[in-house]
Structures are given as structure tokens and as C-alpha cells.
Amino acid sequence: MSSQQVLAGFHAVTARLRHAPATIRQLYVEASRRDKRMQSLIEQAQAAQVRVHPVPADRLDGLARGTRHQGVVALADANALATDVDELLDGLEERGETPLLLLLDGVTDPHNLGACLRTADAAGVHAVLAPRDRAVGLGATVQRVACGAADTVPYIMVTNLARTMRQLKERDIWLVGTDDQAEGGMHGIDGRRPMAWVMGAEGEGMRRLTRETCDELVRIPMQGAVESLNVSVASAVCLYETVRQRTTSNQ
């Protein structure tokens, strides 16, 4: 079981059934549930030729390992998405797509990562990158909060974030970090170029080397009393500035 992912909750399981049903090895549902939502999931699983195992709720509790499961848990192989930065960028170049990436430095809360992945999917981000030693993996909580985005947005964990950032620069990716003390505002960036937004963890923010490796630092305008935004909210604000610019330029 250690080589498998645990998918808990309707969003995570139905997304995997939709995008990569062949990766699901076991699908367990709460035997006592007969509602419409459960019946729909069972029908989707049967259509994908995935066997469904009705089990007691306490069995699901053990499988989900403390994650809220809503009566649905699947054990699945990892979905095959891009796992290498060069592979990802080569594919984008072949398809003529302008790269948009999200780099997370020190985001260790699974709820924040799940929310960032969900936002990344909505904004058309091509991949989310994070340092292997300062980030949370794609556990059951991340999968649930991401609402299926963990199956559509590559999450690439790298050994050395600063080195990967330099690698991105060599591929002409413009690195834009957020900093409360930056002079320029986020609306002044050119989001139409190949770029990556770089976000730090709440509280401590980006590490010094990460900040110094950015090509540009900008601040998010804050009009109220709070000093900063949650990292997933900040990511959404910045990513959608890029979406706005790219959408406007294509009209």
C-alpha cells in the first residue's frame, strides 16, 4: 500500500475516475449509503470497469488515515503527469504554449497546497514546483482539497529550488516573486511572457536565496488592516492577473 496514493472524498475519487480510471486499484464505499451522489459515483466506477467494495464506515476511517472521506476511499497508483522541468517545457514548446508556472517555497500545509493546486488548474497553470525538503507531498488531504486538480496539474518536487529557478531562467522563464516591501505592484508585470510566480510560506515568506534568484519582486496591493494574504489566495490573485493580461491580449 505504501506505493499507492490514498484518494479520499467524492471530488478526488471522481476526478481520478474521469481522468485516469486505470490507476485505481481498489475502490471502497460506505455500505450504508444509498443516496443519489453515491449511486452516481458507483455507476461511474462500473462504467470505467473499476470494482466497488462496500465496507463499514470504520474500515473507511482506517483507510483514509484521518482524512475526511465522505464515505468514499480509493487506493490508486500515481497518475502519470510531467515529473521533470525540461520534459514539461519541451512539451509546451512543441505545442506552442506560453509557460505559466507556480513555485511554492516552504508551503507545508496540505490544505494550502490543495487550494493552490485547485487555483492553478483553474488558471491554466502548466505545473506547480516545490522544494522536496520544504513541501508537503500529494497525500489524501491535498487530493481532497484540490478537488481533482492533483490529477490535472503536475506537481514537481525538486531537490534544489534555487538551481531549478536558474534552470528556468536559462529556458527564458521570467521569475516574479511577491514581497510586501517591493516597490512595484503586481499589476505592472508583463504576464504575456513565459513566466513563473514565486510564492513563499505564510509568516516567513520566501527564503533569501529564493528571493535573490527572482528576476522581479512585486507587492500585492493591500487596502485593509491585515498585512498579508493566505498563500493560496495570494497565488490566485497573482495568477489571475496573468490570465487577465493573456486573455485581453488574445481578444
3-state SS, one letter per residue, for 52-90: EEEECHHHHHHHHCCCCCCCEEEEECCCCCCCCHHHHHH
Q: 213, 166 in Cβ contact below 8 A?
A: yes
User: Could you tell me if 109 and 203 are in contact, meaning their C-beta atoms sit under 8 angstroms apart?
Assistant: no
* Size of the chain, expressed as the number of residues it contains: 251
d(CA 249, CA 251): 6
Q: Exposed, middle or buried: residue 123 (CB in 10 Å: 0-12, 13-18, 19+)?
A: buried
How many angstroms separate the CA atoms of 47 and 35, rounded? 18
CB 180 within 8 A of CB 211: no
229 is in an annotated binding site: yes
Task: List binding-site positions for S-adenosyl-L-methionine.
Answer: 200, 220, 229
Task: List binding-site positions.
Answer: 200, 220, 229
